[in-house]
Amino acid sequence: MSETREITLTVNGTDHTIDVEPRKLLVHAIREDLDMTGTHIGCDTGNCGACTVLVDGEPLKSCLMFTAQADGSEVMTVEGMEDLPESDGDLHPLQEGFHEEHGLQCGYCTPGMIMSGKALLDENPDPSEEEIREAISGNLCRCTGYQNIVKSIEYAAEKLAAQPAADGGRII
Amino acid sequence: GHGRGGMGEGVKRKEDKRFITGRGNYVDDIKKPGMLHCEIVRSPHAHARINEIDTSRAMEVDGVVAVLTAEDLAAHELATMPTLMDDTQDVLVNDKVKFQSQEVAAVIAEDRYVAKDGAEKVAVDYEVLDPVVTAEDALEADAPLIRDELDDQEDNHIFDWDVGDKEATDKVFEAADVTVSEQMEYQRLHPAPIETCGCVTDWDPGKDKITVHLTSQAPHAHRTLFSQVSGIPEHKVRIVSPDIGGGFGNKVPIYPGYVVAAAASVVLERPVKWMEERSENIQTTGFARDYDMTGELAATEDGIIKGVRTDVLANHGAYNAVAQPSKFPAGFFNIFTGSYDVEAAYGSLTAAFTNTAPGGVAYRCSFRVTEAVYLIERMVKVLAQELDMDPAEIRRRNFIQPEQFPYESATGWNYDSGDYEKALDKALEMADYDHYREEQRRRIENDADKLIGIGISSFTEVVGAGPGKSCDIAGIEMFDSADIRVNPTGNAVLRVGVQTQGQGHETTFAQIVAEELGMDVENITVEHGDTDTDPYGLGTYGSRSTPVAGAATAVAARKVRDKAKSIAANELEAAEEDIEWDRGSGEFHVAGAPDRSLTITEIAASAYMNHPGSEEPGLEAVNYYDPPEMTYPFGSYIVVVEVDRETGEVDFERFVAVDDCGNRINPMVIEGQIHGGLAQGIGTAMMEHVTYDENGNCTGGDFMNYLLPTANEIPNFETGYTVTPSPHHPIGAKGVGESPTVGSPPAIVNAVVDAMAHAGTTHVEMPMTPDRVWENLAEAGLERDPA
């Protein structure tokens, strides 16, 4: 095995220091070194987006990035969604939206979809259907035909818009 | 429905929570102490003799534990394995590879990266042979012989098959006013579930037992096959299908990777994980379709169809490994007379070996029904054009009428129920058909840049395999099963012999129990996929779950209800025949005294705490359901497209799908199935194609080249339904999961053809990529240079 180097990642708010080979893909580090297996692998060419995570707030396909490139970064995966303030200790509005609108079937693309949805809503809280479809066009789904995924993200956008401002305001 | 989550209610899915929080448990999520990783060394050639395999340098790689070749497997009689169609497939090859990316050796290592390093160091000396990649070329007299290891195989011909009355059909064609013929290719596709195939094998030398977590749509059948192939007795084989990231028929066959990983675990006495990559999935696991079809119709001048004839060339790849009932070498292709009352029909088919991956039945095909429906629905459109008739009207004139059911077709099927015109009328109305016909004329008159085309498909499916007398997988009759156990506190666990891959069984099967026992759906847990605990079933494919295991669930629940009645009689001090069950309230009460009633929860307590002497304690039942017939759901789909004469691009203006699957368990889940299947129909018609070049290189073998539709290519669907229950099914339900992929491709092709029909176009081959559509526009003289 080739030499390893020490990498520090902040994943869902927790710091992790791991030894990885320079060639290790971020998706494998997340899944195998950190045991967060919500992030999935669906292809070997960067097309499917099942591995989508947020790296420093940007949606990235973690199969196209070496772990070493994420050294010092803040990474967010689907496992971190419930800890966000807008989740209020429960499911995040996006997660709730996917459940309410039947935006998932086998569930394999879902974590990546949710992360792409989060990246979109962070940038654009009130997206049009076209903007949603564009934002998830790097995420392949084989089960849903996308229509309910669009509705799920719309559901979340509406729910988030109805929440008080994120500056510490919480629904009681 | 009764408000507790029973039949017909859009119950939100019980399985969602773990998936939306990243807590699903798929095969590659499994980690076991000491687990090794398997990487397969694959052939770069489509057809080549192997002179030598040198594994020595791979063994020198730090972390490589073993390198297996066919020789190692042969010592355990595992170098080859039987297929489901009476053929034998190489697990690892050491004499001659027969398709590109075929399995040659396997490297077992401590880490998946190291396994890949090792695989790169395996040196194989090949002597390249001429390949043959199409069925037509394979059947040429001078074609290279692919299966030269078989004693009685002198060419690449696998089998001939035919169905129907040839003589009667020929007569009908000779006497007909009009006959039409069209040749059409149903191109090779791949189901491409987003999760690929894989397994974790774990041999326990203390118990002489192997546990295999497997991407399996049919865990019990796989247990039996694993046992037969490996020689490990079946009670020492445990197959577990954990959460499966989509199946679509891809996860029905047994693949060499599973066998290699199992052998490695037994030999090394450590768990072994094999998880294929996407390109391996597309290039080596079960493909779909690849039927080269000629269709013919005979009709009167009024458009009454008298006869159907078809001839097919089928490409089965290098091995005949089609996953289908053993007595149906062409699956249920003989449903090709469709929704129409036809006097005579005859079909013939020739199957060939080629230097391509094996497969054929997969991808929501219901055992070749996709091909059958494509054939008949395309041909009806061709006939309508020939007669200058409206394609809706010609269907109307030929539909099997509601009162004709049960209807025996010219090719021997016994359709259970249907009301085809009702579904078509509903679809026509939803799609605003007359408006688009008008708009189509207007655009032609104005010589517009964008043409309108309207396509219809009024299909009949055949799902729910099947009656044990005719349907078996490797000899095992195609029943399915349910096992319901009601706990002392009134909640229940249902175990079934089918295996969801996202279709929502954990919710919908609970709904059947809720309906039959008056329970709240929240109080029922559905389990599946573990062969140590679940009743034996044949698995989920061919839209068979609702028809077969859904029936078993209702029957088992009714057994529980019967026993509950007896317990209620004991508790209420009444005669059993005086106890009535009220579906609305879900309660058991004394006839004429509704206040003397018990709920299932109260009865469950009595079953454990105060059971009547006439009954055993406990409250549970099992049913193994052998279906008397298949179910025949149907639908009418209408697609309106706009075809750009400059670019050949096709836009979907409207996409209307009316389905009838009998009684509907969960409308929300059905709609999701329809959306997904229609998207796959669009992929089929517009984008997807596993291609090979003349050297046998798979040129459509990854997601760069095998294109799946994204959210940008898929329109919003408009779904509708009618309800024509299956008379023989315990809850009147039919399967539906595959209907949208079966029904939609001909509607889409018919729409694109329709846009050019005024210029004489009768067919456009799939996938209808912009360049191909543009070529067809040009052939019809309709192309337009960019302004």
CA A21/CA A18 separation, integer angstroms? 10
Where do we find the tokens 């609970």? B510
For residue A169, pLDDT over 60 is answered with no
Where do we find the tokens 């095969």? B27
Instruction: Please name the residue of chain B whose CA is at the shortest distance from the CA of residue A91.
Output: B21
Catalytic residue chosen out of the listed positions B365, B471, B661, B698: B365
pLDDT band at B636 (very low <50, low <70, confident <90, very high): very high
For residue B647, pLDDT over 80 is answered with yes
pLDDT band at A165 (very low <50, low <70, confident <90, very high): low
CA B617/CA B607 separation, integer angstroms? 5
Partner-chain contact A99 B12, CB within 8 Å: yes
- Bridge partners of B486, per DSSP, are B492, B619
> Is B246 within 8 Å of chain A by CB?
yes
The pLDDT of residue B785: 87
What does pLDDT average to over chain B?
97
Q: Which residues of B touch A91 (CB under 8 A)?
A: 17, 20-21
Q: Which residues of A touch B274 (CB under 8 A)?
A: none
Which residues have a Cβ under 8 Å from the Cβ of B575 and sit 6 or more positions away? B569
Instruction: Please name the residue of chain A whose CA is at the shortest distance from the CA of residue B115.
Output: A1
What does pLDDT average to over chain A?
95
Classify residue B548 by its DSSP letter.
Answer: I
> Which has the higher per-residue pLDDT, B454 or A165?
B454
The pLDDT of residue A1: 52
> Is B192 within 8 Å of chain A by CB?
yes
> Is A119 within 8 Å of chain B by CB?
no
Segment (H or E) for B379: helix B369-387
* Residue among A44, A106, A147 minimizing CB distance to B675: A147
Partner-chain contact A145 B111, CB within 8 Å: no
For residue B527, pLDDT over 50 is answered with yes
Q: What is the pLDDT of residues B121-173, one digit of tens each?
A: 999 999 999 999 999 999 999 999 999 999 999 999 999 999 999 999 999 99
> How many other C-beta atoms lie within 10 A of the C-beta of residue B787?
5
CB-CB contact of B262 with B211 (8 Å): no
Which residues have a Cβ under 8 Å from the Cβ of B174 and sit 6 or more positions away? none
User: How far is the alpha carbon of B61 from chain A, nearest alpha carbon, in Å?
Assistant: 8
Report if pTM > 0.90: yes
Catalytic residue chosen out of the listed positions B238, B270, B309, B364: B364
What count of CB pairs under 8 Å joins A to B?
Answer: 185
3-state secondary structure of B374: helix
> Is B155 within 8 Å of chain A by CB?
no
The pLDDT of residue B416: 98
Partner-chain contact A106 B502, CB within 8 Å: yes
Helices (H), B79-235: 112-120, 135-138, 166-175, 219-230
Q: What is the pLDDT of residues A143-153, one digit of tens each?
A: 999 999 999 99
Partner-chain contact A142 B21, CB within 8 Å: no
3-state secondary structure of B114: helix
The pLDDT of residue A171: 45
Q: What is the pLDDT of residues A102-116, one digit of tens each?
A: 999 999 999 999 999
Which residues have a Cβ under 8 Å from the Cβ of B361 and sit 6 or more positions away? B249, B252, B286, B288, B322, B323, B324, B331, B367, B368
> Is A146 within 8 Å of chain B by CB?
yes
**Average pLDDT rounded to a whole number, residues B463-471:** 96
Catalytic residue chosen out of the listed positions B100, B102, B187, B217: B217
Is B713 considered catalytic here?
no
pLDDT band at B694 (very low <50, low <70, confident <90, very high): very high
Q: Is the peptide bond before B786 cis (omega within 30 degrees of 0)?
A: no
In angstroms, what is the C-alpha Rg of chain A?
Answer: 16
Backbone angles phi, psi at B643, to 5 degrees: -105, 125
CA A150/CA B441 separation, integer angstroms? 34
> Is A73 within 8 Å of chain B by CB?
no
pLDDT band at A164 (very low <50, low <70, confident <90, very high): confident
Q: Which residues of B touch A106 (CB under 8 A)?
A: 19, 193-195, 243-247, 501-502
Partner-chain contact B672 A28, CB within 8 Å: no
Is B576 considered catalytic here?
no
User: How far is the alpha carbon of A108 from chain B, nearest alpha carbon, in Å?
Assistant: 5
Q: Which residues of B touch A32 (CB under 8 A)?
A: 31
Q: Are strands B480-486 and B619-625 parallel, antiparallel or unpaired?
A: antiparallel
Q: Which residues of A touch B288 (CB under 8 A)?
A: none
The pLDDT of residue A172: 40
**Between the CA of residue B273 and those of B265, B266, B672, B685, B727, what are the distances in Å?**
9, 13, 32, 36, 46
Long-range Cβ contacts of B439-448 (<8 Å, 24+ apart) = B440/B754, B440/B755, B444/B758
Which residues have a Cβ under 8 Å from the Cβ of B428 and sit 6 or more positions away? B392, B636, B638
User: How far is the alpha carbon of B118 from chain A, nearest alpha carbon, in Å?
Assistant: 11
Instruction: Please name the residue of chain B whose CA is at the shortest distance from the CA of residue A47.
Output: B703
Cβ burial of B700 (10 Å; 0-12, 13-18, 19+) is buried
Segment (H or E) for B144: none
Is B365 considered catalytic here?
yes
Q: What is the pLDDT of residues B490-505, one digit of tens each?
A: 999 999 999 999 999 9
Inter-axis angle of helices B219-230 and B256-268, nearest 10:
60
Residue B585, token pair as written in the block:
């309230």
> Is B49 within 8 Å of chain A by CB?
no
Partner-chain contact B16 A98, CB within 8 Å: yes
Closest to B746 in 3D by CA, of B255, B286, B197, B371? B371
Partner-chain contact A45 B672, CB within 8 Å: no
Length of chain B: 787
For residue A166, pLDDT over 70 is answered with no
Instruction: Please name the residue of chain B whose CA is at the shortest distance from the CA of residue A114.
Output: B20
> Is A41 within 8 Å of chain B by CB?
yes
CB-CB contact of B339 with B347 (8 Å): no
Partner-chain contact B502 A105, CB within 8 Å: yes
pLDDT band at B1 (very low <50, low <70, confident <90, very high): low
Q: Are strands B157-164 and B344-352 parallel, antiparallel or unpaired?
A: antiparallel
Q: What is the pLDDT of residues B614-629, one digit of tens each?
A: 999 999 999 999 999 9
For residue A167, pLDDT over 60 is answered with no
The pLDDT of residue B786: 76
CB-CB contact of A121 with A160 (8 Å): yes
Partner-chain contact B112 A28, CB within 8 Å: yes
Question: How many CA atoms does the CB half-sphere of B17 hold within 13 Å?
Answer: 5
CA A122/CA A124 separation, integer angstroms? 6
Closest to B307 in 3D by CA, of B330, B337, B338, B349? B337
Beta strands in B114-266 (DSSP E): 123-128, 157-164, 178-189, 198-204, 209-214, 237-240
**Average pLDDT rounded to a whole number, residues B199-211:** 98
pLDDT band at B714 (very low <50, low <70, confident <90, very high): very high
Is B738 considered catalytic here?
yes
User: How far is the alpha carbon of A131 from chain B, nearest alpha carbon, in Å?
Assistant: 10
Q: Is the peptide bond before B767 cis (omega within 30 degrees of 0)?
A: yes
What is the value of ipTM here, to two decimals? 0.98
**Average pLDDT rounded to a whole number, residues A43-67:** 98
CA B105/CA B90 separation, integer angstroms? 11
> Is A66 within 8 Å of chain B by CB?
no
